[in-house]
Structure 1
Amino acid sequence: MEKSVDIINAMQLSDVNPSLRDPVEYRKSGLSLNHIVGCPLDCSYCVRHLFGNFDQRIPQALMTDKQAFEQFISHRYFQPHITPVQLFNRATDPMLPEVKPHTHNLLGLLDQAGLTNNVLIITRWRVTPEDCESFNALSNIKLTILVTYSGIDDPKVEPIKSSIAANSLRTLFRHSRRYRALLYWRPIVPGLNDSAAHIAQAAQLAAHAHATVFSGLFYRKEIADYYQSQGIPEPYSSTARRKLLPLEEEQRLLRMYEAHAPGTPIFRKTSCGVAYAHQQPDYNGHFGITELCDTCPATQYSTCKAAWKTPDEALLKSLCATLGVDGEPLVTDRAIIVRGLDEQRRYFMQHTLGYQVHDADKPHHYDRHGRAEAQRNL
Structure 2
Amino acid sequence: MVSVVQGCPLGCAYCIRHTYGLWDAARPVALMSDAQAVRQLVAHRYFRPHHTPLQIFNRATDPFLPRVREHLFAVLEDLDGRGLTNHVLVITRAVVHRADCERLNRLAGLKVTVLFTYSGIEDPRIEPYPSAVAARSMRLATEYGGGEEGARRYRTVFYWRPLVPGLNDTPEMLARAADLSRHADAAVFTGLFYRDEIAEYYRAHGLPEPYQGTARRKIVPETLEQRVLAAFAQRPPGSPPLFRKTSCAVSYAHGLPDYNGHYGIRELCDICPAVQLGRCTRAHRVPTDTQLRQAAASLPEANGLRILDVTDRAAIVDGLPDEQPRYYLQHRFGFQIHDAGHPHLHRRHGRARIGWMSEPDEQETRA
| Inter-partner Cα distance in structure 2 for 1:159 and 1:124 | 12
1:181 aligns with 2:161: no
Are 1:252 and 2:238 counterparts? Answer: no
Matches within 5 A, 1:59-70: 59-70=28-39
CA RMSD of aligned residues (A): 1.3
Aligned counterpart in structure 2 of residue 199 of structure 1, from 164, 174, 186:
174
Report matched runs for 1:209-358 at 5 Å.
209-264=184-239, 265-322=241-298, 323-341=302-320, 342-358=322-338
Partner of 2:148: none
Q: Is the 8 A contact 1:238 1:375 kept in 2?
A: no
Q: Unaligned stretches of 5+ in structure 2?
A: 146-151, 357-367
Which whole-Å deviations, capped at 9, do the CAs of 1:70-105 have from their partners, x for residues lacking one? 011111100000100000011100000110011011
When residues 174 and 231 of structure 1 are mapped into structure 2, their CA distance, relative to the original with a 3 A threshold, is: same
Residue 306 of structure 2 aligns to a residue in which SS?
coil
Matched, 1:112 2:87: no
What per-residue deviation string (whole Å, max 9, x for no partner) do you get for residues 286-336 of structure 1?
Answer: 000001101100000000000101115532121344422443341011101
Preserved CA contact (<8 Å) 2:307 2:315: no
Q: Which residue of 2 aligns with 1:361?
A: 341
* Displacement after TM superposition at 1:363 (Å): 0.7
Structure 1 window deviating more from structure 2 (76-85 vs 254-263): it is: 254-263
Give me the whole-angstrom Cα distance separating, in 1, the residues matched to 2:136 and 2:243: 22
In the aligned structure 1, how far is the partner of 2:126 from the partner of 2:248?
Answer: 28
Which amino acid in the other structure matches residue 91 of structure 1? A
| Residues 75-94 of structure 1 aligned to structure 2 (within 5 Å) | 75-94=44-63
Cα distance in 2 between the residues matched to 1:261 and 1:157: 32
Contact 1:48 1:54 (C-alpha < 8 Å) held by counterparts: yes
Shift of 1:374: 1.4
- Equivalent residue runs for 1:81-160 within 5 Å: 81-160=50-129
Question: Matched residue of 2:324: which SS?
Answer: helix
Give the percent of matched residue pairs that are identical in Structure 1 and Structure 2.
Answer: 53
C-alpha distance in 2, partners of 1:261/1:35?
42
Tell me the equivalent position of 1:48.
17
8 Å contact 1:93–1:99 — kept in the other structure?
Answer: yes
Task: Determine the structure 1 residue equivalent to 2:149.
Answer: none
AA aligned to 1:248 is T
Contact persistence 1:121–1:144 (CA under 8 A):
yes
Q: C-alpha distance in 2, partners of 1:54/1:249? A: 29
AA aligned opposite 1:199: L
Q: Give the corresponding residue for 1:166.
A: 135
Query: In structure 2, what is the Cα distance between the partners aligned to 1:239 and 1:45?
Result: 12
The 2-side partners of 1:160 and 1:304 are apart by 37
Mapped partners of 2:141, 2:308: distance in 1: 43
Are positions 1:190 and 2:165 aligned together? yes
Q: Which amino acid aligns with 1:184?
A: Y
Q: Given residue 251 of structure 1, which amino acid in structure 2 is its aligned partner? A: Q
Q: Which deviates more, 323-332 or 108-117?
A: 323-332
| C-alpha contact (below 8 Å) 2:98/2:140 kept by paired residues | yes
* Alignment coverage as a number of residue pairs: 345
Q: 1: CA distance between counterparts of 2:326 and 2:79?
A: 24
Q: Deviations over 1:17-74 (max 9, x none)?
A: xxxxxxxxxxxxxxx0011111000000101001111111111111110011101111
**Structure 1: stretches of 5+ with no match in the other structure:** 1-31
Q: Is the 8 A contact 1:204 1:261 kept in 2?
A: no
CA deviation map 1:345-367 (0-9, x unaligned): 00000000110000011111100
1:325 and 1:338 in contact (8 A); partners too: no
Q: TM-score, normalised by structure 1?
A: 0.89
